Amino acid sequence: MDIRIGCGYDVHALADGLRLVLCGIEVPHTKGCVAHSDGDVAIHAICDAMLGALALGDIGKLFPDSDAKYKGIDSTLLLKEVIELVRYKGYDVSNIDCTIAMQRPKLRPHIDAMRVRLSEVVGIAIDRVSVKATTTEHLGFEGREEGVSTTAVVLLIAQ
Ligand code: MG
Protein backbone atom coordinates (compact mmCIF):
# COMPACT_ATOMS: atom_id res chain seq x y z
CA MET A 1 0.00 0.00 0.00
CA ASP A 2 1.36 3.39 -1.00
CA ILE A 3 0.87 5.80 1.86
CA ARG A 4 2.37 9.24 2.38
CA ILE A 5 2.67 11.28 5.56
CA GLY A 6 3.21 15.02 5.77
CA CYS A 7 3.62 17.57 8.52
CA GLY A 8 2.87 21.27 8.48
CA TYR A 9 3.55 24.21 10.77
CA ASP A 10 2.39 27.80 10.56
CA VAL A 11 2.48 30.91 12.70
CA HIS A 12 0.66 34.22 12.46
CA ALA A 13 0.99 37.34 14.58
CA LEU A 14 -2.11 38.53 16.43
CA ALA A 15 -3.31 42.12 16.33
CA ASP A 16 -6.26 43.95 17.87
CA GLY A 17 -9.47 44.33 15.91
CA LEU A 18 -8.84 41.67 13.23
CA ARG A 19 -11.06 38.62 12.52
CA LEU A 20 -9.87 35.37 14.07
CA VAL A 21 -10.55 32.52 11.63
CA LEU A 22 -9.46 28.99 12.54
CA CYS A 23 -10.32 25.88 10.46
CA GLY A 24 -12.79 27.98 8.48
CA ILE A 25 -14.69 29.08 11.60
CA GLU A 26 -14.79 32.67 12.85
CA VAL A 27 -13.98 32.64 16.56
CA PRO A 28 -15.17 35.67 18.56
CA HIS A 29 -12.12 37.41 20.05
CA THR A 30 -10.58 40.84 20.45
CA LYS A 31 -7.58 39.89 18.28
CA GLY A 32 -7.11 38.20 14.92
CA CYS A 33 -4.28 36.99 12.69
CA VAL A 34 -2.21 39.44 10.67
CA ALA A 35 -2.04 37.99 7.16
CA HIS A 36 -2.31 38.52 3.42
CA SER A 37 -5.16 35.96 3.39
CA ASP A 38 -7.84 35.55 6.09
CA GLY A 39 -4.98 34.33 8.32
CA ASP A 40 -6.37 30.86 8.99
CA VAL A 41 -3.19 29.50 10.52
CA ALA A 42 -4.72 26.05 11.05
CA ILE A 43 -5.73 25.57 7.44
CA HIS A 44 -2.34 26.84 6.29
CA ALA A 45 -0.59 24.19 8.39
CA ILE A 46 -2.94 21.50 7.02
CA CYS A 47 -2.25 22.62 3.43
CA ASP A 48 1.50 22.43 4.08
CA ALA A 49 1.14 18.94 5.55
CA MET A 50 -0.65 17.76 2.39
CA LEU A 51 1.88 19.42 0.09
CA GLY A 52 4.71 18.00 2.22
CA ALA A 53 3.34 14.47 1.94
CA LEU A 54 3.66 14.70 -1.84
CA ALA A 55 6.89 16.78 -1.81
CA LEU A 56 5.12 19.55 -3.71
CA GLY A 57 6.67 22.46 -1.86
CA ASP A 58 4.69 24.69 0.44
CA ILE A 59 1.70 26.98 0.54
CA GLY A 60 3.87 30.05 -0.11
CA LYS A 61 5.07 28.50 -3.38
CA LEU A 62 1.53 27.65 -4.53
CA PHE A 63 -0.18 30.84 -3.36
CA PRO A 64 2.45 33.63 -3.20
CA ASP A 65 1.49 36.51 -0.90
CA SER A 66 2.84 38.86 -3.57
CA ASP A 67 -0.18 37.85 -5.70
CA ALA A 68 -3.07 40.30 -5.21
CA LYS A 69 -5.66 37.62 -6.02
CA TYR A 70 -4.99 35.97 -2.64
CA LYS A 71 -5.53 39.18 -0.64
CA GLY A 72 -8.04 38.48 2.14
CA ILE A 73 -8.90 35.12 0.55
CA ASP A 74 -10.95 32.54 2.46
CA SER A 75 -8.33 29.89 3.24
CA THR A 76 -10.86 27.08 2.74
CA LEU A 77 -10.57 27.93 -0.98
CA LEU A 78 -6.80 27.38 -0.78
CA LEU A 79 -7.38 24.04 0.97
CA LYS A 80 -9.85 23.02 -1.76
CA GLU A 81 -7.20 23.75 -4.40
CA VAL A 82 -4.65 21.68 -2.47
CA ILE A 83 -7.14 18.79 -2.18
CA GLU A 84 -7.73 18.95 -5.94
CA LEU A 85 -3.98 18.70 -6.47
CA VAL A 86 -3.73 15.76 -4.04
CA ARG A 87 -6.47 13.88 -5.93
CA TYR A 88 -4.95 14.80 -9.31
CA LYS A 89 -1.69 13.24 -8.09
CA GLY A 90 -3.60 10.03 -7.29
CA TYR A 91 -4.08 10.23 -3.54
CA ASP A 92 -6.96 10.50 -1.09
CA VAL A 93 -6.81 11.98 2.40
CA SER A 94 -6.99 9.30 5.08
CA ASN A 95 -6.96 11.52 8.14
CA ILE A 96 -5.91 14.90 9.50
CA ASP A 97 -4.68 15.79 12.96
CA CYS A 98 -3.79 19.31 14.03
CA THR A 99 -3.00 21.20 17.21
CA ILE A 100 -3.64 24.92 17.56
CA ALA A 101 -1.54 26.67 20.22
CA MET A 102 -2.90 29.93 21.61
CA GLN A 103 -3.39 31.27 25.08
CA ARG A 104 -6.81 32.86 24.67
CA PRO A 105 -9.69 32.50 23.94
CA LYS A 106 -10.65 28.98 24.96
CA LEU A 107 -11.13 27.07 21.70
CA ARG A 108 -12.94 24.02 23.11
CA PRO A 109 -16.45 25.42 22.40
CA HIS A 110 -15.50 25.81 18.71
CA ILE A 111 -13.62 22.56 18.09
CA ASP A 112 -16.59 20.52 16.85
CA ALA A 113 -17.65 23.24 14.40
CA MET A 114 -14.05 23.35 13.12
CA ARG A 115 -14.04 19.57 12.59
CA VAL A 116 -17.36 19.71 10.72
CA ARG A 117 -16.11 22.52 8.49
CA LEU A 118 -12.83 20.74 7.71
CA SER A 119 -14.60 17.46 6.96
CA GLU A 120 -16.88 19.31 4.51
CA VAL A 121 -14.03 21.11 2.77
CA VAL A 122 -11.76 18.05 2.54
CA GLY A 123 -14.61 15.65 1.79
CA ILE A 124 -13.83 13.03 4.44
CA ALA A 125 -15.77 11.73 7.45
CA ILE A 126 -15.63 13.77 10.63
CA ASP A 127 -14.09 10.88 12.56
CA ARG A 128 -11.04 11.29 10.30
CA VAL A 129 -10.57 14.94 11.30
CA SER A 130 -8.96 15.81 14.62
CA VAL A 131 -8.57 19.37 15.87
CA LYS A 132 -6.91 19.89 19.21
CA ALA A 133 -6.12 23.06 21.12
CA THR A 134 -3.54 23.86 23.73
CA THR A 135 -2.26 26.86 25.60
CA THR A 136 1.47 27.17 26.13
CA GLU A 137 1.07 27.92 29.84
CA HIS A 138 1.83 31.61 29.19
CA LEU A 139 5.22 30.69 27.68
CA GLY A 140 6.53 31.98 24.35
CA PHE A 141 4.79 34.13 21.74
CA GLU A 142 1.55 32.15 21.97
CA GLY A 143 1.57 32.49 25.75
CA ARG A 144 2.15 36.24 25.53
CA GLU A 145 -0.78 36.41 23.07
CA GLU A 146 1.49 37.86 20.38
CA GLY A 147 0.71 35.07 17.95
CA VAL A 148 -0.87 31.70 17.26
CA SER A 149 0.76 28.56 15.86
CA THR A 150 -0.55 25.28 14.46
CA THR A 151 1.08 21.94 13.75
CA ALA A 152 -0.65 19.47 11.43
CA VAL A 153 -0.12 15.91 10.26
CA VAL A 154 -1.94 14.28 7.37
CA LEU A 155 -1.91 10.78 5.93
CA LEU A 156 -2.55 10.27 2.22
CA ILE A 157 -3.36 6.91 0.61
CA ALA A 158 -2.96 6.11 -3.08
CA GLN A 159 -6.32 5.79 -4.89
MG1 MG B 1 -0.02 31.29 7.05
CA 10–ligand 1 middle distance (angstroms): 5
Cβ neighbours, 10 Å, residue 86: 23
CA 109–ligand 1 middle distance (angstroms): 23
The pTM score is: 0.97
What band does 65 get if pLDDT is binned at 50, 70 and 90? Answer: confident
What band does 113 get if pLDDT is binned at 50, 70 and 90? Answer: very high
- Sheet with 147-158, strands from edge to edge, namely 31-33, 3-16, 147-158, 91-101, 129-134
CA 48–ligand 1 middle distance (angstroms): 9
Kindly report the CATH number assigned to the domain that includes residue 17: 3.30.1330.50
**Number of domains the chain contains:** 1
Cα distance between residue 117 and residue 126, in whole Å: 9
Cα distance between residue 128 and residue 148, in whole Å: 24
Of the candidate ranges 20-29, 56-65, 127-136, 142-151, the one whose mean pLDDT is the lowest: 56-65
Q: Is the pLDDT of residue 42 over 90?
A: yes
CA 1–ligand 1 middle distance (angstroms): 32
Q: Which residues place a Cβ less than 5 A from the ion ligand 1?
A: 10, 44
Q: Which domain holds residue 112?
A: 3-158
